[in-house]
Amino acid sequence: MKRVSILGSTGSIGTQSIEVCEKHGLEIIALAAHSSVDMLEEQARKFRPKYVAVYNEEKYGELKSRLSDTDVTVLCGMDGLCHIASLDENDIVLNSVVGMVGLLPTLTAINAGKDVALANKETLVAGGALVTSLAKEKGVKIYPVDSEHSAIFQCLQGNKPEQVNKIILTASGGPFYGYSYEQLKNVTKADALKHPNWDMGNKITIDSATLMNKGLEFIEAKWLFDLEPEQIDIVVHRQSVIHSAVEYKDYAVIAQLGVPDMKIPIQYSLLYPERVECPTKPLSLTDYGTLTFAEPDYKTFKCLSAAIEAISRGGAYPCLVNSANEEAVKAFLNDEIKFIQIGEIVSSVLEKFPYTEIKCYEDVTAADAAAREYVRSIIG
Ligand code: MN3
């Protein structure tokens, strides 16, 4: 029986991961969440993990008193997350927290020699070089949870990495597919929060609407699979049935298909290399009838081109565009800026900041702080 700790346990990936653990009898060692005390309490009572942690330190007292009749140890803050990430009892740590906050717990888990099921894309976007080199040094495996990266990982099974020509990263195109720049100027928060295929948290739903999500996934794929940016193609595939594909030297293309349900990639990341029944629907290709493919609109969706430019330039640029995006999305969700400004802000970072290197974790946090401060200064 595998022992799992879940960071971000109250979010969409977290709750589905718990379902997978329940279904297949994986033991939950620890759970952590940002601030949802009600749900954390409920999860702690149901699964009786050894530890729970709440990232928001103001919620610590409340959670601790609510669980005072149990033997669950309550932790808080970044220290709490990192403590959980490095527990001896962990066989694998599933990291599905939202944002840059996920980087340090990932590094901590890897440092402790723990395999990571990674759903926190900002980990690899902001600290890709640090994370991948540390994982190599410690002999730790990173299993992708994101559906596209899981698809690529599945398509790579049984083949040699040096035989790969390129990967084809599919994108749903989000709710504003086909919109012109003019049309994007008038979209509302409610429009942006409606995703055609996937039911997700607010941050990633907005990232899907701006296509920043695909930009982050592009960077994530580069690090996970050790590719050059030129080896990654993005194709808009509205139905989200083909989750991504790999083209080999002989031009054979292997794709992974399935209904758009995160439980499939979550389960694969936790149970790898096993394939067992998943609590989802089977795929009926004839129900879909038609699958479509198109080029993304890089000009209109500025976040996507900014992210690709950032990883091509290297250094701190991926971290800068990611942090600028986090701040811009927060401002958009708070009705401080319009949808269209997210892309403008994210791409302006490429002009604003000179090239700097990332050599250690502190370089990441410095770039992160600088980008956030810059964004706050333009928003006012
Ligand atoms: Mn994805």
Residue 21 belongs to domain with CATH number: 3.40.50.720
Residue 204 Cα to ligand 1 midpoint, Å, equals: 9
Residue 63 Cα to ligand 1 midpoint, Å, equals: 32
Inside any domain, residue 363: no
Residue 214 Cα to ligand 1 midpoint, Å, equals: 7
Which pLDDT belongs to residue 198?
75
Residue 362 Cα to ligand 1 midpoint, Å, equals: 28
Which DSSP symbol is given to 154? H
Angle between helix axes 317-333 and 361-379 (nearest 10 degrees) is 40
Inside any domain, residue 83: yes
Task: Read off the tokens for 44.
Answer: 């702690």
Which pLDDT belongs to residue 122?
86
Residue 333 Cα to ligand 1 midpoint, Å, equals: 21
Residue 219 Cα to ligand 1 midpoint, Å, equals: 12
Residue 130 CA, chain-centre distance (Å), reads 17
Nearest 5°: CA angle at 296, between 12 and 122?
40
Residue 269 Cα to ligand 1 midpoint, Å, equals: 14
Residue 67 Cα to ligand 1 midpoint, Å, equals: 35
Which pLDDT belongs to residue 326?
95
Q: Identify the bridge partners of residue 232 per DSSP, sorted by sequence position.
A: 167
Inside any domain, residue 135: yes
Inside any domain, residue 108: yes
The pTM is what?
A: 0.96
Task: Read off the tokens for 177.
Answer: 């597919």
Inside any domain, residue 346: no
Inside any domain, residue 100: yes
Residue 119 Cα to ligand 1 midpoint, Å, equals: 9
Q: How many domains would you assign to the chain?
A: 1
Residue 147 Cα to ligand 1 midpoint, Å, equals: 5
Residue 150 Cα to ligand 1 midpoint, Å, equals: 9
Inside any domain, residue 48: yes
Residue 144 Cα to ligand 1 midpoint, Å, equals: 10
Which pLDDT belongs to residue 195?
79
Which pLDDT belongs to residue 109?
98
Residues in the chain where the model's pLDDT stays below 50: none
**Domain span holding position 9:** 3-144
Inside any domain, residue 123: yes
Task: Please state, as a whole number, how many other Cβ atoms lie within 10 Å of the Cβ of residue 71.
Answer: 7
Which pLDDT belongs to residue 380?
82
Q: Pairing relation of β-strands 142-144 and 232-236?
A: unpaired
Residue 95 Cα to ligand 1 midpoint, Å, equals: 15
Residue 152 Cα to ligand 1 midpoint, Å, equals: 11
Residue 146 Cα to ligand 1 midpoint, Å, equals: 5
Residue 213 Cα to ligand 1 midpoint, Å, equals: 7
* Alpha-helical regions (H) of the chain: 12-24, 37-47, 60-66, 77-85, 103-111, 121-138, 147-156, 181-184, 189-192, 202-210, 212-224, 263-271, 285-288, 302-313, 317-333, 339-352, 361-379
